[in-house]
A and B are shown apart, each in its own frame.
Chain A
Amino acid sequence: MKKLPTWIDILLIPLINLAIALFLSALVVLYIGEDPMDALSIMIKGAIGSSYGWGYTLYYATNFIFTGLAVSVAFHAKMFNIGGEGQAALGGLGVALVCLMFPWPHWILALPVAIIGGAVFGAAWAAIPAYLQAKRGSHIVITTIMFNFMASALLVYLLVNVLKAPGSMAPETGRFIEGARLPTGHDMLGWFGIKFSKSPPVNISFLISLLFCFFIWFLIWRTKLGYEIRAFGHSESAAKYAGISPIKIIMVSMLISGALAGLMGINSVMGESERLVIDSVQGAGFIGIAVALMGRSHPFGVLLAAILFGILYQGGAELALWTNIPRELIVVIQALVILLTGALDNMIRMPIERLYFKMVRAGT
């Protein structure tokens, strides 16, 4: 009944939120004696002002799209999957094993197998918490958090004792061979004769993540499974009434969720570092939660939110490079934007809603 026009809902309110976040950040920057306008221009130019900036922004966004989708799918079944971090780490392991195990002649052959490797490993890591939730009622939040720690310990063990490249100091595998390296934005646009900066790690995984946005949209809104997942998420008792097995839905939604998180590995491990390093996920699993919340668990929303986070990450890196703003404060600035645009949405929405309806009434 009570509804704002779409342009206010999806454009004006986020913009006001963003403006307030930037204003507060400016105060922070001012306080430590830097010029806020400079900082802002460095952030924005650095993130979207050049093909170089876009390359990094989209690289980060790709990670967040995968983890954001992972959290979204679980959200639809009302499962709060906090374990994206661990599932992505295992997915990275799966991708790395695929890349290291065979002498790949060309990435076109390696990529599909790596996708399967990452998805299977990520799903497997989600399977145990899912089973415990479905069969034993152990709370998924607790178990997935525990599995994050276990994933990190397992990876450290494997990298230190099993997979470490001989002679390397760092606990990381050797670089993948040429045939297991993905084409970057520079390569791909080069095929069409378009110039794109050589350095950023954005790669074909970005296109794959877009594909998965579509797949997930299709799954959730066009398939029987998606219908059942959503029904279960809205009302477990009603789903049971309708003959939908809670165990099946919990398992399947969590497996899909884990697989999506695991797919992040093709971007970070195969696309960027081209080797498996310790902690290759770098918090993207947790950012996925914020991305899914901000994107309201809709794949298109996730895509937009992931790009916003990508901009924040890349802009933050540029700030760290060219100003004396300490990295802790850069995190504060990033957090302010997330807080205002995501968590405190209603703080702005409600007054605007009231104002709008007052104006409408006055107008009629």
Chain B
Amino acid sequence: MTLIKTIISASAALIASAAMVVADPALIYDLGGKFDKSFNEAAYEGAEKWKAETGGNYNEIELQNEAQREQALRRFAENGNNPIVMAGFSFASSLSEVAPDFPETKFVIIDMVVDAPNVRSTVFKEEEGSYLVGMMAAMSADKAIGFVGGMDIPLIRRFACGYVLGARSVNPNIEILQNYTGTTYHAWNDPIKGGELTKAQIAQGADVVYHAAGGTGIGVLQAAADAGKLGIGVDKNQNHLQSGSVLTSMIKRVDLAVYNAFTDGADLTTGFEVMGLSNDGVGYAMDSHNASLVSADMQAAVEAAKAKIIAGEIQIHDALTDNSCPAS
């Protein structure tokens, strides 16, 4: 603790100089905040894992407003932090401004592509993971399944599209109910509304509800469990949140992306890093909490599909490329 304090006060003292070289990595959370039980928290866990293993230190900041994006990037870069990892697609524009000013610093952006020689762009193939959980949902339901998205943005539509395609591949006639919590950042953190939407979908016959809604998802999983139906978690393994009522979770290894970046340190390779099924960047979660919900047949079918996707035999449409989905 005292060591951290010394470093902090030292860095504070040298605020304007930027002359200091601390090779510590830095992590910037998006507006949702560090403990959102989802995306940002996954990033935090990756950093903590690295810290526990190596005993190193890292700087971090939870953003409070839009103007702080560029500010945080510049401040960490001036301070000598390297690499600087940012969790969220919203940093793309700021990063493309800042990156050229600090050619010696390596940046890692998650969920978005920024084309600069000192930037690593880590993107996930959420549609692949969503495809698999969509199959599982369709196999566990009679005639309808649901999807609750957070903020209605293209990224989340990519989740939805993969989910729909996966479900239809199992049962072409299944009805798929889709709702979004809202259109502002608040939509990531509205578990009450998430629960309401879930209840409404269940009332229309949905047996399984998949969420891609950050903190809002807590309400989705709760409402599904309360109604005796199944929920599907997202980003992290959320099976334990409602043990026995969460069919599975679509895992997106943000923690792995952060951990890898920190481990690579200042020498990390730049360019694209695509994390999909093939390199375990996405997947579905199996553990003791959902073992009884997933039959051996089901798992076999999913594993088969997974193999085909990795082999390139199944091509899943990426809704981001054309902002539309071939099925709905």
| A273–B93 CB distance below 8 A | yes
B66→A279 contact, CB < 8 A: yes
Closest-CB distance, B212 to chain A (whole angstroms): 14
A277 within 8 A of B: yes
Which interface residue of B9, B65, B74 has the most chain A CB atoms within 10 A? B65
Question: Chain B: which residue is nearest A41 at the CB level?
Answer: B12
**For the complex of A and B, 6 pairs with smallest distance between CB atoms:** A156-B183, A169-B89, A282-B65, A50-B16, A199-B74, A327-B62
Segment of B128-136, B149-157, B251-259 engaged in the interface with chain A: B149-157
- The distance from the CB of B44 to the nearest CB of chain A, in whole angstroms, is 12
Whether A156 and B16, one on each chain, are in contact in the complex, defined by CB atoms closer than 8 angstroms, is: no
Which residues does chain B contribute within 8 Å of A51, judged by CB atoms? Answer: 16
A46-B15 contact in complex given A168-B92, A169-B154, A317-B68, C-beta closer than 8 Å: yes
Interface: B310 (CB within 8 A): no
Contact of B5 among A35, A175, A273, A331 (CB under 8 A): A35
A75 contacts the other chain (Cβ, under 8 Å)?
no
Which residues in B have their C-beta under 8 angstroms from that of A209? none
Contacting pair A52 B16 (CB below 8 A): yes
CB distance from B299 to the nearest CB of A (A): 32
Measured CB to CB, the residues of B under 8 A from A are 4-5, 8-9, 11-12, 15-16, 33, 59, 61-62, 64-68, 70-72, 74-76, 78, 89-90, 92-93, 101, 111-112, 151-155, 183-185, 320
A153 within 8 A of B: yes
Q: Which residues of B contact A169 (CB under 8 A)?
A: 89, 92, 111-112, 153-155, 320
* Nearest opposing residue in chain A for B92, CB measure: A170
16 contacts between A and B (CB under 8 A): A45-B15, A50-B16, A52-B16, A164-B154, A169-B111, A169-B320, A175-B93, A201-B67, A268-B66, A275-B93, A277-B90, A283-B65, A320-B61, A321-B61, A322-B8, A327-B33
Query: Is there an interface contact between A153 and B61, defined as CB atoms closer than 8 Å?
Result: no
What sequence of 0s and 1s flags, for each residue 48-91 of chain A, a beta carbon within 8 Å of any chain B beta carbon? Answer: 01111100100110000000000000000000000000000000
Given contacts A156-B152, A169-B320, contact A279 B5 (CB under 8 A): no
A323 at the interface (CB under 8 A from B): yes
Instruction: Contact check, B70 vs A201: say whether CB atoms are below 8 A apart.
Output: yes
- Residues of chain A within 8 A (CB-CB) of B93 are 168, 170, 172, 175, 273, 275, 277
Contact between A42 and B12, CB atoms less than 8 A apart: yes
Contact status A38-B183, CB under 8 Å: no
- Given contacts A156-B152, A278-B185, A38 and B12 within 8 Å (CB-CB): yes
Question: Knowing A156-B152, A157-B183 touch, does A199 contact B89 (C-beta < 8 A)?
Answer: no
Contact between B66 and A277 (Cβ–Cβ < 8 Å)?
yes
Query: Nearest chain B CB to A298's CB is how many angstroms away?
Result: 27
Question: Which B residues are in CB contact (< 8 Å) with A324?
Answer: 4
Q: Which of A318, A320, A322 contacts B62 (CB 8 A)?
A: A320
Q: Are B153 and A171 in contact (CB under 8 A)?
A: yes
Q: Are A153 and B183 touching (Cβ within 8 A)?
A: yes
Among A156, A275, A313, A316, find the residue whose CB has the most chain B CB atoms closer than 10 A.
A156
Supposing A275-B93, A323-B8, A327-B64 touch, asked if A52 and B155 sit within 8 A by C-beta, the answer is no
Q: Report B-chain residues with C-beta under 8 Å of the C-beta of A228.
A: none
Shortest CB-to-CB span from A245 to chain B, Å, is 38
Task: Please give, as numbers and ranges, the residues of chain B lying within 8 Å of A330 by CB-CB distance.
Answer: 64
- Given A168-B92, A170-B93, do A279 and B64 touch, yes or no (CB 8 Å)? no
Give every chain A residue within 8 A of B183 (Cβ-Cβ): 152-153, 156-157, 160
Q: Write out the residue numbers on chain A whose beta carbons fall within 8 Å of the beta carbon of B112.
A: 169-170
Contact B8 A38 (CB under 8 A): yes
What is the CA–CA distance of A333 and B154 in the complex, to the nearest angstrom? 37
In the assembled complex, which residues on chain B have CB atoms less than 8 Å from the CB atom of A280?
Answer: 66
A158 to B68 alpha-carbon distance, docked (Å): 24
Q: Decide: A268 near B152, CB < 8 A? Known: A152-B183, A152-B184, A320-B61.
A: no
Further 13 A-B residue pairs, CB within 8 A, beyond A38-B9, A46-B15: A41-B12, A56-B71, A156-B151, A160-B154, A169-B320, A171-B153, A175-B93, A198-B101, A268-B67, A272-B67, A317-B71, A320-B61, A327-B33
Question: Complex: how many Å from CA A275 to CA B91?
Answer: 13
Min C-beta distance of A7 to chain B, whole Å: 33
